[in-house]
Amino acid sequence: MNIRFWLAAAVVLAILFSGAGSGSAAETESSIEKDMSDTLDIWREGRYEQLFEQLAHRGKTSREKFVKKMRGTTVRPACCWQKMQNFKILTENGTEATVYVKIGLEGSPVTAGAVTREFKLTHQEGAWKMQLADISSIAGVTGKKVKGTKRHSKKVPLYIPN
């Protein structure tokens, strides 16, 4: 009976120890995926002030400027199962993660309907945050000068002394 007890205990411990590492990785993956999904939902719902707070690496962009740019675009994440597909964590070290995912898009006939690429996320304030540059890029509001627009400048006469 003593041998049976120790065998059962060894099996239970082996099961617990083998699942301990994978449970932590699974929790991290589900946390990263959930936070990214929540960010895309906020964007889809048009809550741009809250979206700004959910993003990392905001640089010099002000909340007002970001909100104005986002309101000027019709591109937004798709709903439901089309929102995120083929989610995979490539690297994760506790404070930064790189994921590969296909994000479904709607709202503009110019977009391809989805973007598949790597995204870098940063763990800040207890949540995984996407980068502002990634959202701006997907939405098409990168701040770059649009082709065909002209800058108006005032011509000042050149003064040449005699």
Q: What is the pLDDT of residues 30-56, one digit of tens each?
A: 999 999 999 999 999 999 999 999 999
Q: Taking residues 119-125, report their average pLDDT.
A: 96
| Token pair 């929540």 in the structure block, residue | 38
> Does position 11 have pLDDT exceeding 90, yes or no?
no
Q: What is the pTM of this model?
A: 0.71
In DSSP notation, 78-114 reads PPGGGTEEEEEEEEE-SSEEEEEEEEEEES-TTS-SE
Structure tokens at 21: 């590492």
Q: Is 50 exceeded by the pLDDT of residue 147? A: no
pLDDT at 1: 56
Single-letter residue type at 135: I
Domains of the chain (ranges; CATH) run 22-139 (3.10.450.100)
3-state secondary structure 105-128: EECCCCCCCEEEEEEEEEEECCEE
At position 40, the amino acid (one-letter code) is L
> Considering the chain, what is the average pLDDT of its residues?
82
Check whether 3 has a pLDDT greater than 80: no
Rg, Å, the chain Cα set: 24
For residues 61 and 123, what is the distance between their CA atoms, to the nearest angstrom?
Answer: 20
Q: Confidence class of residue 110 from pLDDT cuts 50, 70 and 90? A: low
**For residue 107, what pLDDT band results from cuts at 50, 70 and 90?**
confident
pLDDT at 19: 45
- Whether 100 and 78 have beta carbons less than 8 Å apart is answered as no
Query: Which residue would you say has higher pLDDT here, 71 or 27?
Result: 71
Whether residue 58 has pLDDT greater than 50: yes
Share of the chain above pLDDT 70, in %: 69
Model confidence at 159, pLDDT cuts 50, 70, 90, reads low
